[in-house]
Amino acid sequence: MHNLQIPHATTISALRARIRSWRADGLSVGFVPTMGALHQGHLALVQLAKAQCDRVVASIYVNPAQFAPGEDFEAYPRSVIEDSQKLTEARCDLVYLPTTEVIYPEGFATTISMTGPAAGLESAARPHFFNGVATVVAKLLNQVRPDVAVFGEKDYQQLLVIRQLARDLDLGVDIIAGETVRERDGLALSSRNAYLSADDRQRAGRLNQILKQCAAALADGQSIAQARQTAFEACLAGFDSVDYVEVRCATSLAELADGRLDTPARVLAAVRLGKTRLIDNCAATPS
């Protein structure tokens, strides 16, 4: 199917045969699920998995269940040959390339429904999103059955949703967080950054600066409401529109009562530049 240097599997049976051989040799297995269009952020997750485990599987699958009608499913960048070359250079051991027939075979009738950390934030703009993510990630984790799976902190809400999923369904996998990899101006690496015009790219780095300023204000004792409002207004001034700017509990994403921050938190935002939607977050600690 694909003329790739790196060993690859397109079926569950081929995937499990390779993993079975590793298990027979007593080797541990790490897993990095991706939607392709790989950048240095993804490769950092592979390196983190390599540091934790003897062998690493990366999957590439653009999951239709997490795109709503009118979102960019058809346009989402796909570059399997280039991605596989990058995974080879990152010393990934196997790339899993399932088709939609493998993930959602005819008659597929199950969806995982998430609440808890899935409530609000991304769900407000994309109510379909986390159920689609949870369903495909549960399938992939069951197919690979890794010891460790690595997810990036850039998608912080997704990270907490997947931790909840693994915990609630007793999936027996350790979910590890990889730090966000950034451009020099602070812009979080994302496959969708390819959509930014040159002018919008100049403005995009401002998002991380605004979030860091919010976290600094919270650490200085400014009230949550005031720090959030200042960040929201800065985003309104700097971007075409703002989906949200929020300060939430770092471990559960629960809303926090106003006043001085007294627990580890996360500042999270989603804004739009032209047709591109940017999300980012940063840690906030009490003074």
Domain boundaries defined on the chain: 8-178, 191-284
- Residue 88 carries which DSSP code? H
Write down the pLDDT at residue 90. 97
**Could you give the strand order of the β-sheet that contains 276-284, starting from the edge strand earlier in sequence?**
241-249, 265-273, 276-284
Is residue 1's pLDDT more than 70?
A: no
Write down the pLDDT at residue 287. 84
CATH for the stretch 8-178: 3.40.50.620
Per-residue model confidence as pLDDT tens digits over 115-135:
999 999 999 989 999 999 999
42 is known as an active-site residue: yes
114 annotated ligand binder:
no
107 annotated ligand binder:
no
Is residue 285's pLDDT more than 70?
A: yes
Contact 280, 153 (CB under 8 A): no
262 annotated ligand binder:
no
Write down the pLDDT at residue 232. 98
Write down the pLDDT at residue 15. 98
Mean pLDDT, rounded, of the chain:
96
DSSP per-residue letters across 197-230: -HHHHHHHTHHHHHHHHHHHHHHTT--HHHHHHH
Write down the pLDDT at residue 4. 75
Is residue 140's pLDDT more than 60?
A: yes
153-162 mean pLDDT: 98
- Residue 192 carries which DSSP code? G
38 annotated ligand binder:
yes
From 2, 8, 42, 128, active-site residue: 42
152 annotated ligand binder:
yes
End-to-end CA, the chain: 56
Nearest to 163 by CA among 151, 179, 154: 151
Is residue 3's pLDDT more than 80?
A: no
Residues 12, 10: Cα–Cα separation, whole Å: 7
61-70 mean pLDDT: 93
DSSP per-residue letters across 3-68: --SS-EESSHHHHHHHHHHHHHTT--EEEEEE-S---HHHHHHHHHHHHH-SEEEEEE---GGG--
- Categorize the per-residue pLDDT at 40 as very low, low, confident or very high, splitting at 50, 70 and 90: very high
Q: Which residue bears the tokens 């769900």? A: 123
194 annotated ligand binder:
no
44 annotated ligand binder:
no
What's the fold here for domain 191-284?
Pantoate--beta-alanine Ligase; Chain: A,domain 2 (3.30.1300)
37 annotated ligand binder:
yes
Q: Give helix 12-24 / helix 129-144 axis angle, nearest 10°.
A: 50
Is residue 261's pLDDT more than 70?
A: yes
Is residue 264's pLDDT more than 60?
A: yes
**Alpha-carbon distances, residue 254 vs 148, 213, 232, 266 (angstroms):** 26, 21, 19, 10
- Categorize the per-residue pLDDT at 187 as very low, low, confident or very high, splitting at 50, 70 and 90: very high
Residues 132, 134: Cα–Cα separation, whole Å: 6
Of 1-15, 94-108, 233-247, least confident by mean pLDDT is 1-15
Q: Alpha-carbon torsion 255, 260, 261, 263, what sign?
A: negative
Per-residue model confidence as pLDDT tens digits over 193-244:
999 999 999 999 999 999 999 999 999 999 999 999 999 999 999 999 999 9
